[in-house]
Structure 1
Amino acid sequence: MNSPISASMGTKEWFMLIILSILWGGSFFFIEIAVSELPTLVIVLTRVSLAAIALWIFVLIARIRVPRTPSIWASFLTMGLLNNVLPFSLIVWGQIHIASGLASILNATTPLFTVLIASTFLRDEKATRNKLAGVVIGFIGTVVMIGPSALDGIGVNVVAQLAVLGAALSYAFAGVYGRRFKVRNINPIVTAAGQVSASALFLIPIILIAGIPADLGRPSIQTVAALIALAVFSTAVAYVLYFKILASAGATNLLLVTFLIPISAILLGTLVLGEMLQGPHIIGMAIIGFGLVVIDGRFLRRPKIYQGS
């Protein structure tokens, strides 16, 4: 049975969600650098392997108890497949064939899938009018912010588009499945370490079968730095936050981060790369913000008026 979670997030959860969006928003920069020199599976395996090493080192230093039950490790394997191997591979491969803007819009369907799946499988995360309306508003805001012109690619490279949608669906199932780790009282750091370790175990035989290209040269310093940042910040640290939010706020609230990731990516581009923040970006961000307010619901409730006797 799933333990109850908070239907609306507190200040702490919202803060962690924003930080998570920044960490995952930065991953698009790191992936763009890496894909110019390395094949998809190599990037994904390096990402999860380095993240696993960093997390297990921390677990050892902090002397956090590691579960030994086979069923828990089987759950790590399932979580690794749903939350890392499938979506990472599909998104990285999809970004090779379609524009990153369209990939971001397609990835923003994750909360839509999550509301439906969570409502089906979790008693304490049933779909409400606020959730459904807020998710649709947030999706519209994502399209406006990234630019409706990104949708011009719809119908071209359909397989790549379906791959990114498949990644969004996989993320949704992972969010719902990951609720079991709270019930088993497993430390979020151990859960994150177990998940990425399981992902690496999945990928090693796949790469051995597929083979590493013979002409794969030594990656540049920029690519190595991008891979380290992708592994440590956008994977290791990010997944610790992921499981902390999942344990306290649930899958539907957690995967609202998908709406915040494009905002983080655009703001990072403005601050780091000197890109211009344009009108559609601001309007889209405002629409997403309104969608999140609708989902949260607290600011839309009518204040209770005290009536004296």
Structure 2
Amino acid sequence: MTTTIHTPLDKPVNLPLELALLGVLALLWGSSYLLTKVAVTEIPPITLIAARVTIAAAILCAVMWAQGATLPTDAKSWRMLYLQAVFNSIAAWTILAWGQRHIDSGLASVLNSTSPIFVFFLTLFVSRHERLSWLKLAGALLGLAGVTLIVGVDVLRGLGQQVAGQLAALFGAFLYGCAAIYGKRFTHLPAVVTAAGTMVCASLTLVPLAIVAETPWQHTPSARAIAAATALGVFATGLALLIYFRLVRTLGSMGVASQSYLRAGIGVLLGICILGEAFSLTVGLGLVAAILGVAAINLPARKGG
């Protein structure tokens, strides 16, 4: 029998399907690290992010119009969309990009995977917008432990060094947590409209910034770098955001944030499959812990008797 859960709007949700989409989202965002590494060697960072969100905005607007939907016309919706864009892309990606230049990538992965923990405590003490449990907190901590095992516990030796970079990675995770919570407010808009609107806001902000700060016309990236940037925009941003805003509604803030644990595992698996990196017992244990953490976070709550 198919497991179903109920959203706050009392619509039944096919849990296995939503968890499969969570895995797809983690794959799309996990692959973004590899694509960014290829593109950023030839394209300046702000220009790359601006290109990423502009491509995504164009794709999402095309999908939206094909579905017969339109962007909102009221000022309140646009203020909300801009704030969501700040949380989920404009500020988060810029801060994380800066932080990753100053700390080891493994430690950045661990710190950036703390967003479910931020979601838990922000929900507990501030928003109170969805039901929490000790099992969800245990799942968040188990998932974080899994990520630490996946990237290697040795990365924790860097804690306390390059503090500014570490705080930037943590703040980026905090912003992702805020995005997962604030994204619940867009029930009045279709997911494709929310995704398109946030990327339009991000593009209108980042394109002028890139022009002023990096004079992108002075760079001539290769076809390989352009292809990586295009894939970032189409798949790791456009398609990913369509799935993301659906999952915010079906799995909730904690559920959609839990993909950060799967993302690290997918990054390692891609390295093993594509780059021929070694697979270790510690990595295997970390993958199991991350999957169990995601499962604990997304188990449907029992109804009271």
Q: Considering the TM-score relative to the shorter chain, is it more than 0.5?
A: yes
Instruction: Give the total of aligned pairs.
Output: 297
Q: Which amino acid aligns with 1:62?
A: Q
Matches within 5 A, 1:279-290: 279-290=281-292
Matches within 5 A, 1:123-134: 123-134=128-139
Is 1:150 the equivalent of 2:152? Answer: no
Q: Which amino acid aligns with 1:263?
A: G
5+ residue gaps in structure 2? 1-6
Shift of residue 292 of structure 1? Answer: 2.5
Which residue of the partner structure matches residue 293 of structure 1?
Answer: 295
Structure 1 CA distance, aligned partners of 2:205 and 2:85? Answer: 8
Structure 2 CA distance, aligned partners of 1:104 and 1:253? Answer: 19
Q: 1:60–1:6: structure 2 CA closer, same or farther, 3 Å change rule?
A: closer
5+ residue gaps in structure 1? 302-309
Structure 1 CA distance, aligned partners of 2:152 and 2:12? Answer: 31
> 1:14-56 deviations in whole A, cap 9, x for unaligned?
0110000000000000111122222221111111011101111
Which residue of the partner structure matches residue 242 of structure 2?
Answer: 240
Is 1:191 the equivalent of 2:194? Answer: yes
Contact 1:108 1:142 in 2 (8 A): yes
Percent identity among equivalent residues? Answer: 31
Shift of residue 8 of structure 1? Answer: 9.5
Shift of residue 5 of structure 1? Answer: 7.2
Structure 1 CA distance, aligned partners of 2:27 and 2:289? Answer: 19
Structure 1 CA distance, aligned partners of 2:200 and 2:92? Answer: 16
Structure 2 CA distance, aligned partners of 1:289 and 1:50? Answer: 32
Q: TM-score, normalised by structure 1?
A: 0.89
Of residues 115, 118, 142 in structure 2, which corresponds to 1:113?
118
Contact 2:54 2:203 in 1 (8 A): yes
Q: TM-score, normalised by structure 2?
A: 0.90
Q: 1:196–1:31: structure 2 CA closer, same or farther, 3 Å change rule?
A: same
Structure 2 CA distance, aligned partners of 1:4 and 1:156? Answer: 46
Which residue of the partner structure matches residue 305 of structure 1?
Answer: none
Is 153-162 or 13-22 further displaced after alignment?
Answer: 153-162
Of residues 56, 60, 66 in structure 2, which corresponds to 1:55?
60
Instruction: Indicate the RMSD between aligned Cα atoms, in angstroms.
Output: 2.4
Structure 2 CA distance, aligned partners of 1:284 and 1:191? Answer: 34
Contact 1:106 1:161 in 2 (8 A): yes
Structure 2 CA distance, aligned partners of 1:6 and 1:258? Answer: 26
Which residue of the partner structure matches residue 136 of structure 1?
Answer: 141
Q: Which amino acid aligns with 2:235?
A: F
Q: Which amino acid aligns with 1:271?
A: C
Q: 1:85–1:206: structure 2 CA closer, same or farther, 3 Å change rule?
A: same
